[in-house]
Copies of this chain bind each other. A is one copy, B any other.
Amino acid sequence: MTSKPLAFIHGAYQTKFGELWRMSFEDLLMEAAEATMKQAGVSLAQIDAIYIGSMLHTWVMGQNNLPGLVASTLKTNLPVYPVEMACASGGLAFHQAVQALGSGRYQQVLVLGVEKMTDLDSATIAECLMGAASWTERQAGLTFPGLYGLMQRAYQTKYGLSDEQLARVPVKAHQRSAGNPKAHFNSPVSVDQVISSDMVADPIRLLHASGVSDGAAGLVLGRRAGGLAQVLACEYATDTLALHERSELTSLKATKLASARAYGIAHISADDVDLWEVHDCFSIAGIIALEDLGVAMPGEGHKAFTKLPVNTSGGLKACGHPVGATGVKQIVSLAEQLSAGTGKPQAKSGSVGVAQNVAGSGSAVVVSVLGSV
């Protein structure tokens, strides 16, 4: 690993994730912005631009002019870049911020991911989330668990993964979130509980699905060296909106494309990576992610998920998945661990963490590579 850092992370903060009935979108936005800047030791006057990832604001608040909302809430006239790309809104906001720093236009920027989901009832949220899917999938009556259910069915059939093997993935996620005060869920779950939990969309059961969370996360990124971690690469690729347009269901092409480019830019291979944050909106998604990222062979992702330092905060499944905030929170998690020296030191290169953030059922994927400073 000899690549030149694209940016440095000077502040990283996550609000509590969960059903935050007393907090509005603006409250979450404000907490994340203020706490992130405080941690970085900067004020808004030292920020050149703001990037905000959010998915459901149009539906939840009837609001689709985020720059004005951010400007009003934070009392600023700074450029605010709204980023809406389903569950990878946060990851794309981070990608765009890194790119802007690379251009030299901005020296220091604030990146936010904010989502307020619990103001809508579950049925409406389920419908809104299908806004990330294709028209034909919506017309067919599919839900998001339904889409990932198709993937899980194909995967279990192809590789013979048993329900019990699969159940160890969310069990591990809940173990990891047990001591995390910011996590939505701190309760452990057992293999038996997973296997006997309610069927949401056959074969996906309740305890294979991430919940509906409110929450926000923030980063201060800058060109000046130092801080919590360095950004070595952040790449992004798209794929078809609909599952039926793809050649296979057990792998995401966009993850493969984005990670190949990101590893190339960072001069690393999957073997060099110490920490992983993968988009486990469903158990099967976390498994496939690790295979597409080159960590495990096809069919073996479930073992890597439980054995390696993957989603140590609990991930989307157990820490929570406030959709637009997730991509930013993944970077926060990596930065905190890299800063604390949690990663396994490499001979020459320090520790490396990789985050993978997915839009919809894989229509877009952002892969980021971070290194310790």
A residues apposed to B, CB below 8 Å: 55, 58-59, 61-72, 76-86, 92, 96, 99-100, 102-105, 127, 130-135, 138, 236-242, 245, 253-254, 257, 359-360, 363-364
Could you tell me if A237 and B68 are in contact, using CB atoms closer than 8 angstroms?
Answer: no
For A132, list chain B residues within 8 Å (CB).
Answer: 64-65, 68
Main secondary structure of the interface of A (DSSP, over half): mixed
Name which of A67, A70, A237, A242 has the most chain B CB atoms within 10 A of its CB: A67
The residue in chain B whose Cβ has the minimal distance to the Cβ of A73 is: B241
Could you tell me if A239 and B77 are in contact, using CB atoms closer than 8 angstroms?
Answer: yes
Name which of A62, A82, A238 has the most chain B CB atoms within 10 A of its CB: A238
**Copies assembled:** 2
The residue in chain B whose Cβ has the minimal distance to the Cβ of A363 is: B68
Leading 9 A-B pairs by shortest Cβ distance: A68-B363, A103-B103, A68-B241, A71-B238, A65-B132, A64-B131, A65-B86, A72-B241, A58-B58
Could you tell me if A81 and B96 are in contact, using CB atoms closer than 8 angstroms?
Answer: yes
For A72, list chain B residues within 8 Å (CB).
Answer: 134, 240-242, 245, 363
For A254, list chain B residues within 8 Å (CB).
Answer: 77
Could you tell me if B100 and A85 are in contact, using CB atoms closer than 8 angstroms?
Answer: no
Could you tell me if B131 and A77 are in contact, using CB atoms closer than 8 angstroms?
Answer: no
The residue in chain B whose Cβ has the minimal distance to the Cβ of A75 is: B240
CB distance from A239 to the nearest CB of B (A): 6
Task: Apart from A55-B64, A66-B85, list 16 A-B contacts with CB within 8 A.
Answer: A64-B84, A65-B86, A65-B360, A68-B363, A68-B364, A69-B241, A71-B240, A71-B363, A72-B241, A72-B363, A76-B238, A77-B253, A79-B237, A81-B92, A82-B83, A82-B85
Could you tell me if A364 and B65 are in contact, using CB atoms closer than 8 angstroms?
Answer: yes
The answer to whether A79 and B130 touch (CB under 8 A), given A85-B66, A86-B64, is: no
Q: Which of B70, B84, B130 contacts A84 (CB 8 A)?
A: B84
The answer to whether A238 and B86 touch (CB under 8 A), given A67-B359, A99-B100, A363-B65, is: no
For A84, list chain B residues within 8 Å (CB).
Answer: 64, 66, 82, 84
For A245, list chain B residues within 8 Å (CB).
Answer: 72
Could you tell me if A67 and B135 are in contact, using CB atoms closer than 8 angstroms?
Answer: no
For A64, list chain B residues within 8 Å (CB).
Answer: 55, 58, 84, 86, 131-132
The residue in chain B whose Cβ has the minimal distance to the Cβ of A50 is: B238
Q: How far is the CA of A232 from the CA of B137 in the complex (A)?
A: 44
Q: How far is the CA of A66 from the CA of B245 in the complex (A)?
A: 16
For A77, list chain B residues within 8 Å (CB).
Answer: 237-239, 253-254, 257
For A83, list chain B residues within 8 Å (CB).
Answer: 82
Could you tell me if A67 and B363 are in contact, using CB atoms closer than 8 angstroms?
Answer: yes
Give 19 pairs: A residue, B residue, CB < 8 Å, sorted on A.
A58-B59, A58-B131, A61-B135, A62-B131, A64-B86, A64-B131, A67-B363, A68-B239, A71-B239, A71-B364, A72-B242, A72-B363, A77-B253, A77-B254, A79-B238, A81-B92, A82-B84, A102-B103, A103-B105
